[in-house]
Amino acid sequence: MSGGFAQRAREALGNQQLHIALDRTTAQLVVRRAAGLASLEDADRVRDRARASKMQLLHTLADSLRAFEARLVENGARVHWAETAADANRIIVEIATKAGVRRVAKSKSMASEQTHVNGAFERAGIGVVETDLGEYIVQLAGDRPSHIIMPIVHMTREQVGRVMAQRLAVPYSDDTQTLARYARAQLREEFLQADMGLTGANFGVVENGAICLVTNEGNARMVTTLPRVYVVLMGIEKLVPTMADLDRFLKLLARSATGQKLTAYTTLVRGPRRSGDDSGPDQMHVVLLDNGRSKILAGETAEILGCIRCGACLNACPVYRSVGGHAYGDVYPGPVGSIVTPGIRGLAPFAELPSASSLCGACREVCPVRLDIPRMLLALRHEAVEHTRQPAALRMGLTLFARVASRPRLYRAATAVVRRVLRSRARDGWIRRAPGMASGWTRFRDLKAPAAETFETAWRRRAAGRTS
Amino acid sequence: MSGARDAILGRVERAVRTGRIPSAPPHDRDEDGGTRADGDARRGAPDSARLQERFVLEARALGVETYVEPTAAAVCDRLRTLIAGLRVLAWNPDGLPYDCGSIVDGALLGSSPRADQARAEVGITACHGAIAETGSLALVAGPGCSPTVSLLPPFHVALVRPEDLHERFIDFVTARADALAQSSNCTFVTGPSRTADIELSLTIGVHGPGRVAIVIGP
């Protein structure tokens, strides 16, 4: 995938539709988040404590996982452990096959997006439908989601209308209320027919084994209530210690994501249906997924496992806002994706992602858990340089620079030449294309023309002026 | 299967020894291990009139219709008006307060065939808690209290008693911990079903009810 991000970003920058769609949403989400946080009493303190509890949890993750597993079993759920994406898919398809499942209704789950479980179901001859409105449209269009909480942020309402008209044989409309009504009618049947519901987990509560799910549409409620088999696929890092912690995270998640005080539906699932219940699944399974997370935990970017997937860093990021989610090349886009994707999929194919940032720090500013995203991006850049062989020209260039820079007279003579060449190329104070080896640098940026006088001469002149 | 479990737990245990996990400053941790809620120390219990006022305010801001009725008879009248002419799905009548059970006599119940429940036009429930701070209803699944009632119909009517009110999520969770432990599903309903997936434009009633009404009795 070399040249991948740069190539995709260039294409995205030229995509007029994408810019209309991104402009209509990201800026508004930034404003809503700010208003949401302002409505939270003592917001800074809540964020500090949320961060502290996540970091504390990571320090004791193995014990927390054991305790969580024990509570799940007490609640009547069956627990499975998956080391890789392929293992998770195999386990889930096995559960489905054993239970004679023919149709699966899925509520939005980033973890399952990353394991590509839909493909595994289809290969096993099991039908699967996404039920989050955005994910459903992604599935209809054969597209990919481009935002953690707004999967079709890259589409305009007109595009959505065309997809629905084509795939569902309904009259074209660009009225969102009408489009939502189409989806409701189609998906209602899917909910009622499905034998199995599949969700991720927003949080798993260690103290009581509750799986916490939040949705605004109500699809997670449907898939945890109607089908007879219910499966949760969750990363091993999605735990919170107590209900008091959960309270804090719920307050932060909705506000950071959409500015709401609380998401419309917050569901706590504690096992399959109990005796006397009229609804709820007969069996519940929880698949705990590693898939690179323990590797992330062992390294410089361990902190990213505290992410609660609110998407605030995407909306705040000037790079994301310019190129959209698809340019990042995997399920998690934006600043968080630039750390999670190399962590899970390996740094080599995604070595460009940590550099897809100006390190402005807007992501750290809005992160509800105050994750130090710029620090982690720098750590990954460092790692990328350490572990990949740099081009011969760069190595030679640096050796040469070291020789010149350590000899003052040579250095002064060399900079005088370079300054003259660069100034001769400048127009209106900017160099758009630098000569020779430096041309790589100006491929993506403009270079400010050097000043007429070096810092050194200016300093000497001022010093002379003061003493006279 | 246990091979994967041990392998993952082993890797996690080794990982925390080398991973750069920031340590939590002691003052940000909870002195009692995290069970205490934020701001408890300086907070007195607000009186029930204030709670109700806040609850109504928050619910209305979410687009929920709210009715405060002075007597049980007025609650029943209000309910009759709201559901007039609609096909009703309800929690078991003996679980409804203010003697509203008789009004839903003959209604579809959580035990009715799924296909029939799916055709209901209004769902009637009580609640196990009402959260003033967020305008949320807490609905705990159990015998006679099927989650389908508040989910399948396009219109949800909930009956709330003043004693159901709690100031915050954590107050309810603490007060009703036993009820929660005995149930497989507890849902907090905060306004009607909604989405903003298409261009962030607010759209009501995607999968759950698009209309929610709350009747508060004496």
- Quick one: A257 and A133 in the same domain? yes
Tell whether the model's pLDDT for residue B158 goes beyond 50.
yes
- Of the candidates A362, A359, A406, the residue with the CA atom closest to the CA atom of residue A381: A359
Please state, in angstroms and rounded to a whole number, the distance separating the CA atoms of residues B108 and B120: 8
Q: With beta carbons under 8 A apart, name residues in chain A contacting B173.
A: 243, 247
3-state helix, strand, coil in chain B (%, to 5): 35, 20, 45
Structural tokens at position A170: 């309904």
Does the residue A424 lie in any domain?
yes
Q: What is the pLDDT of residues A81-107, one digit of tens each?
A: 999 999 999 999 999 999 999 999 999
Low-confidence ranges of chain A (pLDDT < 70): 1-3, 467-468
Query: What Å distances lie between residue B48 and A51, B71, B162, CA to CA?
Result: 34, 17, 7
Query: What Å distances lie between residue A38 and A33, A41, A44, A263, B7, CA to CA?
Result: 8, 8, 10, 17, 44
Please state, in angstroms and rounded to a whole number, the distance separating the CA atoms of residues A121 and A123: 5
What CATH number does residue A96 fall under? 3.40.50.10420
Cα-based torsion angle of the residue sequence A8, A9, A11, A12 in order, rounded to the nearest 10 degrees = 120
Judge: B38–A42 Cβ closer than 8 Å, yes or no.
yes
Structural tokens at position B31: 């002195």
Does the residue A108 lie in any domain?
yes
Does the residue A313 lie in any domain?
no
Does the residue A354 lie in any domain?
no
- Quick one: A143 and A272 in the same domain? yes
Domain closes at, from A270, A291, A312: A291
Please state, in angstroms and rounded to a whole number, the distance separating the CA atoms of residues A174 and A162: 8
Output the pLDDT for position B47.
Answer: 84
Q: How many domains does the structure of chain A reveal?
A: 2
Domain closes at, from A243, A264, A291: A291
Does the residue A410 lie in any domain?
yes
- Quick one: A287 and A397 in the same domain? no
Output the pLDDT for position B26.
Answer: 66
Interface of B with A in 165-204 (CB under 8 A): 168-170, 173-174, 180-201, 203-204
Tell whether the model's pLDDT for residue B46 goes beyond 90.
no
CA atoms within 13 A on the CB side of B74: 9
- Quick one: A115 and A231 in the same domain? yes
- Quick one: A270 and A405 in the same domain? no
Q: What is the pLDDT of residues A123-176, one digit of tens each?
A: 999 999 999 999 999 999 999 999 999 999 999 899 999 999 999 999 999 999
Please state, in angstroms and rounded to a whole number, the distance separating the CA atoms of residues B196 and B187: 21
Judge: B195–A218 Cβ closer than 8 Å, yes or no.
no
Please state, in angstroms and rounded to a whole number, the distance separating the CA atoms of residues A460 and A412: 14
Cα-based torsion angle of the residue sequence A371, B24, A51, A110 in order, rounded to the nearest 10 degrees = 70
Please state, in angstroms and rounded to a whole number, the distance separating the CA atoms of residues A60 and A239: 11
- Quick one: A400 and A287 in the same domain? no
CATH topology of domain B46-216: Rossmann fold (3.40.50)
Output the pLDDT for position A434.
Answer: 79
Judge: A52–B25 Cβ closer than 8 Å, yes or no.
yes
Query: Any chain A CB within 8 A of the CB of B86?
Result: no
Range of the domain at A397: 392-467
Q: Can you say whether residue A263 is alpha, beta or left, with left for phi > 0 and alpha for psi between -120 and 50 degrees?
A: beta
Please state, in angstroms and rounded to a whole number, the distance separating the CA atoms of residues A397 and A420: 20
ipTM over 0.85: yes
Domain closes at, from A291, A313, A340: A291
SS3 (DSSP) at A249:
helix
Selected for mutation to probe chain A from B167, B197, B212 (highest A CB count within 10 Å) is B197
Judge: A294–B15 Cβ closer than 8 Å, yes or no.
yes
**Contact in structure between A150 and B197 (CB atoms under 8 Å):** yes
